[in-house]
Amino acid sequence: MRIVLLGPQGAGKGTQAQRISERTGARHISTGDLVRAEIKSGSELGETIKDYNDRGELVPDEIIIQMMRPYLDEADSWILDGFPRNESQAEALDEMLREIAAKLDAAVALEAPDEALIRRLSGRRTSEATGRIYHVEHDPPPQSSEEDPGPFIQRKDDTEEALRRRLRIYHEHTEPLKDYYAERGILATIDATQRIPDVTEGVLEAVGEKA
């Protein structure tokens, strides 16, 4: 099984990729995780990526593609989370798959209204003491400092302004990939506002139909 998960920030791509990986044995390949690992390694590629991040610039497609290439050939079954993010990267993925005589089985788009995603993400708070993530509405931080002393902070990229900016980027650059894959007959769309287990079952059913 080789699938791509599409969806805006907060739609649950990482959560679903992990759950599907546990259910199927397919490898969860997260662009974000690979970027962080590459930077932490101190490699030349990692230093280049860190330089772009420190300047607040998007990492160029060719660098992301260079980073992803070795991982696609290592596993026969995988779920891509965060790649491709635009048509150029999608075309590069197609080319890499041709080189290893493989094909993409499905592209699954997790969909949710922008306002629902903003409510979900802007309410997140992270404990500096424990690293646990809470939500001001659904799972508020404990009142007792013995349970978790906090403090409970909002990540800079979870502010409403930052979220709206990232959603605009998604709609402009990544969402058109739904048409890209629909034209090939391998797109499935899932309502990401459902319960997490229901979304997982929907993805697995869609992949079963497409793969």
What residues are labeled active site? Answer: 13, 85, 124, 155, 166
Alpha carbons 95 and 74: distance in angstroms, whole number: 16
User: Which position has the token pair 């229901």?
Assistant: 198
Tell me the DSSP string of 58-111.
PPPHHHHHHHHHHHHTT-SSEEEES---SHHHHHHHHHHHHHTT----EEEEEE
- Nearest alpha-carbon partner for 72 in 31, 119, 17: 31
User: What sign for the dihedral angle of Cα 24, 25, 30, 33?
Assistant: positive
Tell me the DSSP string of 158-177.
GSHHHHHHHHHHIIIIITTH
User: Which position has the token pair 């979900």?
Assistant: 120
Alpha carbons 123 and 119: distance in angstroms, whole number: 6
- Nearest alpha-carbon partner for 211 in 72, 24, 86, 82: 24
